[in-house]
Amino acid sequence: MKHLLILFSIVCFVSAQNSDLYKRPFHGQPDFDIDVLHYEINLKINDHQKSFYGKTSIDFLATRSKLDTVRFDVETFRVTKVITDTLSLSFIQDDDALIIIPPNPIYKNEKRTYTIYYQSDGKVADPANYNMGGVRVLGLGFFDESEDNPALVQTHSFPEGARHWFPSNDHPADKATSTIITTVRSDWKVLANGVLKSKSTNWKKLSNGMRIRSEGSGDSTTYKWDLDLPNSTYLYVMVAGPFEVIQDYHGDIPMSYWVYPKDKEHAHRSFHRTPEIMRFFEKEYGVPYPWPKMDQITIPGIGGGAESTTATILGEKTIHDAKAEKDFPSHWLVAHEAAHHWWGDYITMQNWHHAWLNESFATYGEYLYSSHLYGEEEGKINLWKKKQSYLNEYKNRYSRPMVHPYWKYPNQNFDSHIYPRGAAVLHMLRKITGGDIFKEFQEVFLNKYAYGNPNTNDLIDVVNDVSEQDLTWFFKQWVLSAGHPKLDIKSEWKDKTLTLYVNQTQIGRKTPTKYRLPSKVAFYYKNEVVIEEILIDRKRSIHRFEMKKEPLFVRFDPDNDLLIEVRQDLSLEALLNKVKRDNVIGRMEAATELSAFIDEPKTVRSLKRIAVHDRSWFVRNAALKSVGKEMSAKDFLIAYIREKHSQPRRTIIAQMSNHHASDALKLIRKYLNRDDSYIVQAEMIKQLGNIGDKSDMNRIEFLRNQWSPRKIIRTSADKSLTKLQGN
């Protein structure tokens, strides 16, 4: 009865969370009165007043007959005038829209140009009011000089920030070309979408009629950027500040890295793989880079990046020194945002609930490049971590289909269900179609919908056509449904036959009661591994395999290709063989599961050996966590000195401090300033707060005031100093 009550509570909790997802507004296909062709955005930035003046000319076509009003999305700034040619037009501005009244009705396919004048009056949008609490700017915002960044101005257009800095039909399905003209103080540079067409210095006119180049407070420069390829408004960007610009190239494509002056020394470390990443994706997608240039610029206010076409914005924390490279590399972020220039910019989702077409492919691009750069084993770890990120959201927040047309705010579609889960889903699709077919359908899809706005059904059609098979079932269960398979697996050996029982136990709203899973099973023997292919397509399935002898252990999904949760009880002997023989993920799982047998001496011996000698840091780390309480101070010291990877070293410090505090103190005090990893040093400082004394405060203070990525040393130091001061 107790277990039934717990299960009932879990089901009720999940159902309550899921039901809220379906109470949000439903969204269908976008339907516009107009089709914007071109925006010419002219801004004058008054940084000393934290305000701006704007003039935006919009070329558009009517898509319906007899329009007697024209609507644009407008928020935060105040419209002062609207003209067409020389004629002033009547308009009404409310909280989120500008309604323009033409002198005569506009008929279908007629073209018009409206020029809208406006000013910010120093107002800024509060991102929290738009469910965007994780960013500091929505629209156009100003940053004062700080220890981290110079004074600058930036825009943030995702997902509906464009309407806060220029009037627009602010929806991804209405793409337009653009010209962005920005006037700023002369010691600043301006970056925007497209190609720089002109840069001009503004001149002052003296009382005697002479014209001189202006200097001092009145000095200003005007930059004109032009993008003659259609682009969605959430991808528009303008950033201005005292940036250093580092030039690079991908073939004939110019690329630049825009960084704060203080960061120029370390910029190359963050961006130098960009040409290689571009070549990698061109080969993967079969489509040459489809834009005239590729810039990347660092800004405050965001943690990751945002895919502004031809001018990607990246959080300033991506810049790091050589010591941080091992723990805080930038290549994954550069790869993700570079992939968006195909998936998101070149083709763009038709509506926000098809956002997986952008984010799943870009996140999968991270995995593909990581595997290319570091090898297959690190690729498996990368994909495993992505699955855990999704499972964390699934277990602690909600479950939903990847295409889910119920949302109040667009960014409610951008979660772990489409980033890491989507990457795992694409990996499964690649395994089903084969790598060549997978690459071919990407190329066909990108070319067919170039600069367009496809939806999920469009992708399904292309996959079916290219693969010459009906894979609609795959998308129905993985993209259009929620959840994932949960499998109870048992094996039985009898009369030279191994019987495998697979029971699907998943439940949940919009979750399939049974999945179709093309799968593999591996049978591990002393000197060989036999792999069999099976198809799971029933709620309960039984699979029999004739064999001469009983395997040491049975491994379902031996390559970890599937997005599944598996419950399979293995004996101690099976786990001891698995921790030695399986792939990196299987060995890590075995090292973790062996903690249940930690009272067995052979378990301890095996885990101690694995903790030091396994070829993967990932497995060593898991073994250390399982066997930590059984390790002596000497074991920890040897493991620390031998360990080259920072993650297991951090675990060693934590475990040793927990089980051998006095010896851990000696080790920490000796190696604190010598360890070459910021995350290990941060852990050492944390443990000094737990097991140290006031004599450690000076050494902590010394490191606290030094730079560290994401300020992890300072954060750890502040917490430990507070503890030690209270002792």
Token match 């005569």: residue?
104
Architecture label for domain 485-569: Sandwich (2.60)
Q: Domain spanning 358-366+375-478: which CATH class is it, in words?
A: mainly alpha
CA distance 190 to 170: 23
Q: Using an 8 Å Cβ cutoff, are 422 and 402 in contact?
A: yes
The residue ranges of DSSP E strands in 165-307, in sequence order, are 176-185, 189-192, 195-201, 203-205, 211-213, 220-231, 238-241, 244-250, 253-259, 294-299, 305-306
User: Of 268, 266, 238, whose CA–CA distance to 54 is shortest?
Assistant: 238
Residue 349 in contact with residue 526, Cβ under 8 Å?
Answer: no
Cβ atoms of residues 513 and 504 within 8 Å: yes
Distance between CA atoms of residues 626 and 579, nearest Å? 12
Spatial CA neighbour of 428 closest among 366, 489, 516 = 516
With 70 as the cut, is the pLDDT of residue 12 above it? no
DSSP states of 318-375: G---GGGTTTS-SHHHHHHHHHTTTBTTTB--SSGGGTHHHHHHHHHHHHHHHHHHH-
CB 607 within 8 A of CB 588: no
Strand partners of residue 183? 44, 222
Query: pLDDT tens, 45-94?
Result: 999 999 999 999 999 999 999 999 999 999 999 999 999 998 999 999 99
Output the furthest CA–CA distance in the chain (Å, rounded): 109
Task: Give the pLDDT confidence of 460-515 residue by residue, as tens digits.
Answer: 999 999 999 999 999 999 999 999 999 999 999 999 999 999 999 999 999 999 99
> Crossing angle, helix 697-704 and helix 678-691, to 10 degrees?
150
3-state secondary structure of 307: coil
Q: What pLDDT does 18 receive?
A: 58
Distance CA(465)–CA(447), nearest Å, equals 14
Both structure tokens of 13: 């909790």
Q: Helices 661-671 and 678-691: crossing angle, nearest 10°? A: 140
Which structure tokens are listed for 388? 């855990």
Q: Could you tell me the pLDDT band of residue 211, with boundaries at 50, 70 and 90?
A: low
* Tens-place pLDDT, residues 614-673: 999 999 999 999 999 999 999 999 999 999 999 999 999 999 999 999 999 999 999 999
Task: Find tokens 């290990």 and name the residue.
Answer: 680
pLDDT for 204 = 64
pLDDT of residue 13: 35
Q: Per residue in 134-154, pLDDT tens?
A: 899 999 999 999 999 999 999
Among 679, 408, 402, 706, CA closest to 563: 402
Strand order in the sheet with 90-93: 70-73, 97-101, 90-93
Q: Is the model's pLDDT at 215 over the cut of 90? A: no
Preceding peptide of 159 cis, ω within 30°? yes
Q: Is the pLDDT of residue 328 over 90?
A: yes
* Closest among 349, 193, 373, 199 to 281, alpha carbons compared: 373
Which of helix, strand or coil describes residue 707? coil
pLDDT band at 726 (very low <50, low <70, confident <90, very high): confident
- Residue-wise pLDDT for 15-41, tens only, equals 444 558 999 999 999 999 999 999 999
Radius of gyration of the chain (CA): 29
Domain boundaries, the chain: 358-366+375-478, 485-569
The tens digit of pLDDT for each residue in 372-411 reads 999 999 999 999 999 999 999 999 999 999 999 999 999 9
List pLDDT tens digits, range 588-620: 999 999 999 999 999 999 999 999 999 999 999
Provide the β-strand partners of residue 556: 521
Burial code (b: 16+ CB inside 10 Å, e: under 16) for 162-175 equals bbbbbbbbbbbbbb
On whether the CB atoms of residues 250 and 326 are closer than 8 A, the answer is no
Give the contacts of 529 (CB within 8 A, at least 6 positions apart).
522, 523, 558, 581
Q: What's phi and psi for 39, nearest 5 deg?
A: -115, 130
Q: What is the C-alpha end-to-end distance of the chain, expressed in Å? A: 48
Section 714-721 average pLDDT: 98
Cα–Cα distance for residue pair 138/133, rounded to 1 Å? 10
